């Protein structure tokens, strides 16, 4: 069903700075590229939010009836420790620390990435290419850029000449930066620097003798620059100009800016019509950071094995929490926010589960057709999931009124209401109905509260034999008890 012919979708385009009406290059088809992870560590929650946002976008396009080719890459080489083309390759560094092969690092964390996204109910992309699988394509693009005079070789490395490119192009148009300001605010080059200008970026880096990950090229053994892989893979699978390029807000500069420059230098065409950027996730009002211990991984949320949250939360509840904010807004994760989301999620699922039992009549108190279009209007306004969820709870309110015999609904409207709710909750937002798991969880919580009370009473009476017996038998069942200043909590391993 080609719903896209009936709906007008607007997307906030980072390139134009405004909401543009979406018009695909090929009618009925969408080409979308999203920058994937660098697989050198477990996927963190901020990355999960970005991929979840674009999963929702992918799902809505499919729901509207578009044929979507969704490409999301895996960076398994070439991503150095900083954006100045300096430092070690992140994957090679991890391999040295753990004394394993770089591809073992890649395999381990690619599996973790896929397993985590599967728990969050993300659909797999149409194509998931790797940087190492496209070295030849990257070398060919470098040759092309060199031939057109926008790059230069230096001691076995190849660098993109930003100043030369900017003479007849606009470097900085995506991020809104001016090259003159960038030049003013950067350090002077030292005698050891190979670059002509500090703003230049690597297309190919010479591999030093100790560098593990290396490939032969016309310029000697080396490895591609981080920005180049996305240009090579997006153009190979989506064409020289495609519809949508997405990623995290932190990639806008320099990564995406460099992608535009490489593509325009190589093909002479603007590579992307709509640039989309998802915003960051904070934790308790602060930036997530391992160094300050203000950090949490998805597995720690699901198990409850952390020092930040009071209890475990299911992947469906966390996904519902993520969808309650617009993808371009900063979202703050906290125990209070997750508790509120869990309550909202339960209300939504209870209402959905109760539709079949609703009594029907001839009086129409709830205009389902108008409500349904409001749901589409929300999504058509730059995928506005918080407004969509508000509309879903408008339906919940009417469902509860009908259950209380305070409103009435026809058979036809009841069927349409159920179909629409399922479409937006399951198909578009990607939220699974875990109500059965919720029932089991409620039973477990009740039993655990009773056992914790008995154990606390035993400890108060200094009956440590009983309290230790309760603790040890729970551990044997895979349930860990944690005593803290705010009381006793538990987690299921």
Structural domains present in the chain? 3-278 (3.40.50.620), 310-428 (1.10.730.10), 437-492 (no CATH)
10 Å CB burial of residue 473 (0-12, 13-18, 19+) is: exposed
Evaluate whether 51 touches 117 at the Cβ level (below 8 Å).
yes
Sign, CA dihedral 56-57-63-66, equals negative
Parallel/antiparallel/unpaired status of strands 157-160 and 201-206: antiparallel
Strands 201-206 and 222-224: antiparallel
Residues 187, 273: contact at Cβ < 8 Å? no
pLDDT of residue 190: 64
Question: Quick check: 110 and 74 in contact, CB under 8 A?
Answer: yes
In the numeric block, which tokens belong to residue 130? Answer: 């790797």
Q: What's the pLDDT at 66?
A: 98
| pLDDT tens profile 467-480 | 888 888 888 777 87
**pLDDT at 351 (0 to 100):** 96
Query: Please, what is the angle between helix 45-63 and helix 102-119, to 10°?
Result: 60
- Report yes or no: 78 and 131 within 8 Å, Cβ to Cβ: yes
Beta strand segments in 44-146, E: 67-72
C-alpha separations of 295 from 14, 301, 340, 345, 465 in Å? 29, 11, 21, 24, 37
CA dist., res. 71 & res. 377, Å (int): 27
Residue 355, pLDDT above cutoff 80: yes
Q: Is 69 helix (H, G, I), strand (E, B) or coil?
A: strand
Res 162: pLDDT: 98
Q: What is the Cα Rg of the chain in Å?
A: 26
Q: What is residue 84's predicted lDDT score, i.e. its pLDDT?
A: 61
Mean pLDDT, residues 409-424 taken together: 97
Question: Using 50, 70 and 90 to split pLDDT, how confident is the model at 42?
Answer: very high
Give how far Cα 21 sits from Cα of 7, 8, 12, 234, 482, Å: 11, 7, 9, 23, 53
Task: Determine contact, residues 237/129, Cβ cutoff 8 Å.
Answer: yes
Residue given tokens 């946002």 in the structure block: 53
Could you give the C-alpha distances from 140 to 34, 132, 151, 155, 266, in angstroms and in order?
22, 14, 13, 19, 10
Predicted local distance difference test score (pLDDT) of residue 472: 80
Ordered alpha helix ranges (H), 24-89: 45-63
pLDDT of residue 224: 95
pLDDT over 80 at 87, yes or no: no
Average pLDDT of the chain, as a whole number = 92
pLDDT bracket for residue 126 (50, 70, 90): very high
Please tell me whether residue 24 adopts helix, strand or coil conformation.
Answer: coil
- Which of these, 60, 4, 10, lies nearest to 424 by C-alpha position? 60
Report the alpha-carbon distance of residue 386 to residue 378 in Å, rounded: 8
Of 299-303, 369-373, 445-449, give the lowest mean pLDDT range.
445-449
Mean pLDDT of 189-208: 87
Least-confidence region, from 12-21, 49-58, 250-259, 286-295: 286-295
Which three-class secondary structure state does DSSP give residue 283?
strand
Predicted local distance difference test score (pLDDT) of residue 486 = 62
Band of pLDDT at residue 427, cut at 50, 70 and 90: very high
In this prediction the pTM is: 0.87
CA distances for 309 relative to 47, 484, 489, angstroms: 20, 12, 10
Q: Is the pLDDT of residue 39 over 90?
A: yes
Q: Count the Cβ atoms, other than its own, within 10 Å of residue 387.
A: 16
User: What pLDDT does residue 436 have?
Assistant: 46
Structure token digits, residue 393: 């709870």
Number of H helices, E strands in the chain: 16, 15
How far does the chain reach from its first CA to its final CA, in angstroms? 44
What DSSP state is assigned to residue 325? Answer: S
Question: Cβ(243)–Cβ(24) under 8 Å?
Answer: yes
What CA–CA distances, in Å, run from 89 to 18, 41, 82, 191? 37, 13, 9, 24
Residue 437 has pLDDT above 60, yes or no: no
């Amino acid at each position: 069903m080609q719903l896209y012919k009936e709906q007008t979708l607007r997307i906030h385009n980072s390139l134009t700075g405004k909401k543009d009406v979406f018009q695909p290059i090929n009618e009925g088809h969408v080409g979308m590229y999203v920058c994937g992870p660098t697989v050198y560590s477990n996927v963190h929650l901020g990355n999960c939010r970005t991929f979840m946002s674009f999963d929702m976008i992918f799902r809505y396009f499919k729901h509207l009836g578009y044929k979507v080719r969704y490409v999301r890459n895996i960076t398994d080489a070439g991503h150095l420790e900083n954006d100045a083309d300096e430092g070690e390759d992140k994957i090679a560094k991890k391999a040295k620390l753990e004394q394993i092969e770089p591809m073992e690092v890649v395999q381990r964390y690619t599996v973790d990435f896929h397993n985590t996204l599967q728990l969050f109910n993300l659909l797999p992309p149409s194509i998931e290419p790797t940087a190492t699988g496209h070295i030849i394509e990257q070398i060919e693009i470098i040759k092309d850029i060199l031939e057109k005079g926008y790059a230069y070789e230096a001691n076995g490395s190849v660098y993109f000449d930003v100043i030369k490119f900017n003479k007849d192009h606009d470097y900085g148009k995506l991020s809104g930066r001016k090259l003159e300001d960038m030049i003013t605010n950067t350090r002077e080059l030292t005698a050891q620097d190979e670059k002509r200008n500090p703003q230049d970026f690597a297309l190919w880096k010479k591999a030093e003798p100790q560098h593990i990950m290396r490939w032969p090229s016309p310029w000697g053994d080396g490895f591609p620059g981080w920005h180049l892989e996305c240009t090579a893979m997006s153009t190979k699978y989506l064409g020289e100009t495609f519809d949508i390029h997405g990623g995290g807000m932190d990639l806008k500069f320099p990564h995406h800016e460099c992608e535009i420059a490489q593509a325009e230098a190589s093909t002479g065409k603007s590579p992307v019509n709509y640039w989309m950027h998802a915003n960051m996730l904070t934790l308790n009002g602060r930036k997530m950071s391992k160094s300050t211990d203000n950090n949490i991984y998805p597995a720690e949320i699901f198990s409850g094995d952390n020092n930040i949250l009071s209890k475990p939360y299911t992947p469906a509840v966390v996904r519902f929490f993520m969808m309650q904010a617009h993808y371009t807004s900063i979202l703050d994760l906290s125990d209070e926010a997750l508790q509120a989301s869990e309550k909202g999620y339960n209300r939504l699922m209870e209402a959905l589960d109760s539709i079949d039992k609703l009594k029907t009549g001839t009086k129409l108190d709830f205009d389902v057709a108008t409500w349904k279009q409001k749901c589409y209007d929300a999504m058509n306004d730059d995928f506005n999931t918080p407004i969509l969820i508000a509309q879903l709870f408008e339906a919940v309110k009417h469902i509860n009124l009908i259950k209380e015999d305070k409103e009435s609904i026809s058979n036809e409207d009841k069927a349409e209401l159920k179909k629409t709710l399922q479409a937006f909750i399951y198909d578009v937002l990607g939220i699974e109905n875990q109500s059965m798991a919720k029932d089991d969880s409620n039973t477990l919580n009740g039993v655990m509260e009773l056992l914790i009370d008995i154990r606390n009473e035993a400890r108060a009476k200094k009956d440590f034999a009983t309290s230790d017996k309760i603790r040890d038998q729970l551990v044997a069942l895979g349930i860990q008890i944690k005593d803290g200043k705010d009381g006793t909590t538990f987690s299921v391993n």
